[in-house]
Amino acid sequence: MAENKPIKQLAFVMNRNKSGARELLDCLRDIAETEGVAVKETLDFPVPEGFLQGMDACCVIGGDGTFLSAASESTYWQVPIIGVNRGTLGFLTTYSSEEIEGIFPSILKGGYSIRSRGLIECGSHNGEADVALNDVVIKSASASRIVHLNVFADDEFVTTYVCDGLIFSTPTGSTAYTLSAGGPLIHPDSRVLSLTPICPHALSNRSIILPDSVELRVENASSDDQLVIAVDGQRNLSTSRDTSIRIKLSSQSLHLAQRPDYSHFKVIRRKLKWSGGYARDMS
């Protein structure tokens, strides 16, 4: 395996609410400093603007929500993220807290594999824009209210969805909210975008997989309803009743520093208990 460049400037992002996170950060910081790595840390969510400037990598200690809080800054500065799981499922934080201490010196020396993940770009009526690693969700601003949404793909009318909302997901996000809504599992290396309605009022409404070149437009077909755009479940964009929302795959990508032997299917089998009736783990 060709190693990446050694990490000399390392930022830590820690979720103080996760059990054992502080102890783990202290341990990894000591290892980094012993290896001659300059470190800094933050407990703030989202990660402060400019915090990752000049860093070689960012080590996130927490769950996937903590990871997502660093995704925007990581993308902007093109700093790879080392995700260490102190949460529950941890699809993004792929290093376990049990293994990280023993292999951290190797990671700092370049013993990791960089994998790029696609992002969704969305824009609202006032020019406000954001990118999502997992998903963009469009719902009514009023709790438990059905929305009527017209969807266009490259200006071609798709359909009018009558539902609780729409989830636009990257392949990375296919194991998140969209999976719970009945969406498909998509390999993270795929360059596609999925659209999944939430509780649609038509049995024929199912997920749609769209190519990376498509630009989607969503219009509010309910004149009396205000919409909200949730980006990765962490940030909201403002909307207008009479202006469309545009969604497409971003030209940017986020870089993950993962184990050289990382296997997406192994993670799915282990964390989702995903198997056939007689399947066994062949790893």
CATH of residue 212: 2.60.200.30
Considering only CA atoms, give the Rg of the chain: 20
Q: How far apart are CA 202 and CA 161, in angstroms?
A: 8
**Same domain, yes or no: 201 and 149:** yes
Q: How far apart are CA 129 and CA 121, in angstroms?
A: 7
The domain tally of the chain equals 2
| pLDDT tens-digit readout, 128-150 | 889 999 999 999 988 778 999 99
Catalytic residue among 30, 44, 56, 64: 64
Q: Is 64 a catalytic residue?
A: yes
Would the pTM count as exceeding 0.75? yes
**Same domain, yes or no: 128 and 96:** no
Q: What average pLDDT does this structure show over 33-61?
A: 96
**Same domain, yes or no: 89 and 123:** no
Residue span of the structural domain in which 147 resides: 119-251
**Same domain, yes or no: 230 and 194:** yes
**Same domain, yes or no: 193 and 126:** yes
Q: What average pLDDT does this structure show over 23-52?
A: 96
Q: What residue has token string 């995700």?
A: 83
**Same domain, yes or no: 185 and 125:** yes
Rounded to 5°, angle at Cα 232 from 176 and 69: 110
**Same domain, yes or no: 141 and 196:** yes
Tokens coding 14: 């820690």
| pLDDT tens-digit readout, 109-121 | 999 999 999 999 9
Structural domain contains residue 283: no
Q: What average pLDDT does this structure show over 236-252?
A: 89
Contact 137, 177 (CB under 8 A): yes
